[in-house]
Chains A and B, each alone.
Chain A
Amino acid sequence: MNVTIVDYKSGNISSVINSFKEVAENKVKIEVTSDVSKIKSTDKVVLPGQGSFKSCVDALQSIKGLVDCLNEFVMNKKKPLLGICVGLQMFADVGYEESETKGLGWISGKVTKIDNQNGKYKLPHIGWNQINIVKGSKIFKDIKDKSHMYFVHSYEFVPTDKNSISATTDYSSKHVCAVEKENIFGTQFHPEKSDKTGLKIINNFINL
């Protein structure tokens, strides 16, 4: 089996690569590429994302055929994809970081700035927070409710369809921190930086 991490030159993906390689050992091939033909034929895709919503969408679009290829992979072939951080946020129809930017539209909703209640809460939301698992997502197999995950973000995904939410976290209010819709998985937190529990989530995705 091949798992492909999409390298679209946006932000730092070394930690994602390291964590997947650690979990995969030598049983699963981890490929890091932006080559559309390779992504087309892979079994699973990981879509990382750092920086702003706009910069990530722009970077995806700057690679010819990549967005079409991902659409085909996810919507028609229905193969598993995991979005991490801004990778998850891009599932939305629209994001409002920097300027209004169209997203991939896979899970209906929008990405807006976390309401910090007039400075009562610091932003970015950085550090370890507990997740409330609201539905038994496949990537949460053997993950305990209230597990700690590492977060770093100032924007949040607000999906229209609440059934897509698989976990939330409490900060200034309840924020969506994981989604699952059929073959589409996403985490706002960083499993690659969430110690053993995070690696278990990565392992669950690899073993889907």
Chain B
Amino acid sequence: MLKNRIIPCLDVKNGRVVKGINFVDLKDAGDPVEQAKIYSDGGADEICFLDITASNENRDTIYEVVEKTSKKCFVPLTVGGGVRSVDDINKLLNCGADKVSINTAAVENSKVVVDSSKKFGSQCVVVAIDAKKNGDKWEVFTHGGRNNSGIDALEYAKKMEDSGAGELLVTSMDRDGTQVGYDIELMSKISSKVNIPLIASGGVGNLDHLVEGIKSGKASAVLAASIFHYGKYSVKEAKQYLESKGIPVRT
């Protein structure tokens, strides 16, 4: 039976983790490689790096981070943030990323998704959708949530599936950072609309939220950042809790 995945996400800026695990015994709390290794040793099903480096001259730092991490972690590694072109994807994959998530570039030009899935296979193309509720629908935002494209998130999700995306990483901007739980309605609507797996993101504050994301949100995988970073829960505890609620996990 296929297991639901738990994916810790690390924000990386200029090659350093900015929101990370706060463990006392950590030699270097800013080292993405060490943090990723802690997660994979702790049972994370996948690791996600979100590169939030703002300036262009420091963009190359992520490549080095990915290269080092992929030599230490032998679970899938997804990298996103600032991915603009097929060439960017190629570089990340060559450094050892297993999947690349595309956000703004996919909204601006879906050909990036078409071309990259043809060239590298759908298995490594994740389309990240940042959605915000407006009335009775959700709209897709770009540029780290700054710009409203006005595009309907449900229709866009379907379009991305048709373009060759292998998975969708859906973040509710209304919930992101609030710790009140995923936007279940958004997740389940998108998941029902497409036949590719959905990774739910944005708003996790406790372990019940992970359960809801899978059971009600119909997500195949749940992504979370802060609940793991600040030591509130370990990945292992999260898995034990999910299992106790009847959700299949890898143990």
Binding site for B on A (CB under 8 A): 11-12, 14-15, 18-19, 21-22, 50-52, 55, 116, 119, 122-130, 148, 150-154, 170-171, 192-196, 198-199
Q: For B1, B4, B94, which residue has the most chain A Cβ atoms within 10 angstroms?
A: B1
- A14 in contact with B120 (CB, 8 Å): no
> CB within 8 A of B75: which of A18, A55, A193?
A193
Residues of B contacting A148 with CB < 8 Å?
Answer: 3, 250
Also in contact, A51 and B70, with CB within 8 A (given A14-B94, A122-B220, A195-B75): no
- A127 in contact with B123 (CB, 8 Å): no
Residues of B contacting A126 with CB < 8 Å?
Answer: 123, 166-167, 197, 220
- B120 in contact with A199 (CB, 8 Å): no
- A18 in contact with B121 (CB, 8 Å): no
CB A54 to nearest CB in B, in angstroms, measures: 11
Q: Does B5 contact A (CB under 8 A)?
A: yes
CB A144 to nearest CB in B, in angstroms, measures: 13
Provide the bound-state CA to CA distance between A150 and B96, in Å: 16
Main secondary structure of the interface of B (DSSP, over half): loop
Q: Does B18 contact A (CB under 8 A)?
A: no
Provide the bound-state CA to CA distance between A51 and B123, in Å: 8
Residue of A nearest to B77 (CB): A15
In residues 117-133 of chain B, which contact A (Cβ within 8 Å)? 119-124
Also in contact, A127 and B74, with CB within 8 A (given A50-B121, A116-B195): no
Q: Does B40 contact A (CB under 8 A)?
A: yes
- B250 in contact with A124 (CB, 8 Å): no
Residues of A contacting B96 with CB < 8 Å?
Answer: 14-15, 18
Residues of B contacting A18 with CB < 8 Å?
Answer: 70-71, 74, 96
Also in contact, A11 and B3, with CB within 8 A (given A19-B74, A126-B166): no
In residues 12-45 of chain B, which contact A (Cβ within 8 Å)? 40, 45
Provide the bound-state CA to CA distance between A170 and B2, in Å: 8
Residue of B nearest to A21 (CB): B71
Also in contact, A193 and B74, with CB within 8 A (given A14-B94, A127-B45): yes
Binding site for A on B (CB under 8 A): 1-5, 40, 45, 70-71, 74-76, 93-98, 119-124, 166-167, 195-197, 220-221, 250
CB A113 to nearest CB in B, in angstroms, measures: 12
Also in contact, A199 and B74, with CB within 8 A (given A122-B195, A127-B5, A128-B45): yes
CB A127 to nearest CB in B, in angstroms, measures: 5
- A124 in contact with B74 (CB, 8 Å): no
Residues of A contacting B197 with CB < 8 Å?
Answer: 122, 124, 126-127
Residue of B nearest to A154 (CB): B122
- A127 in contact with B221 (CB, 8 Å): yes
19 of the cross-chain contacts (CB-CB < 8 Å) are A15-B70, A18-B70, A18-B71, A51-B120, A55-B121, A122-B220, A124-B123, A124-B166, A126-B220, A127-B3, A127-B4, A128-B3, A128-B250, A170-B1, A193-B75, A193-B76, A195-B40, A195-B75, A196-B74
> CB within 8 A of A52: which of B4, B74, B121?
B121
Provide the bound-state CA to CA distance between A122 and B123, in Å: 13
- A12 in contact with B94 (CB, 8 Å): yes
- B93 in contact with A14 (CB, 8 Å): yes
Residue of A nearest to B218 (CB): A122
Also in contact, A50 and B120, with CB within 8 A (given A124-B197, A127-B2): yes
- 8 further interface pairs, Cβ-Cβ under 8 Å (given A11-B121, A193-B75): A11-B120, A11-B124, A12-B93, A14-B94, A55-B121, A127-B45, A127-B197, A150-B76
CB B90 to nearest CB in A, in angstroms, measures: 9
Residues of A contacting B97 with CB < 8 Å?
Answer: 12
Provide the bound-state CA to CA distance between A55 and B121, in Å: 9
Also in contact, A124 and B76, with CB within 8 A (given A119-B195, A170-B1): no
Provide the bound-state CA to CA distance between A21 and B121, in Å: 24
Residue of A nearest to B121 (CB): A51
Residues of A contacting B94 with CB < 8 Å?
Answer: 12, 14
Residue of A nearest to B117 (CB): A51
Q: For B70, B74, B98, B167, which residue has the most chain A Cβ atoms within 10 angstroms?
A: B74
Residues of A contacting B76 with CB < 8 Å?
Answer: 150, 193
Provide the bound-state CA to CA distance between A11 and B95, in Å: 13
Provide the bound-state CA to CA distance between A143 and B240, in Å: 23
Provide the bound-state CA to CA distance between A128 and B120, in Å: 21
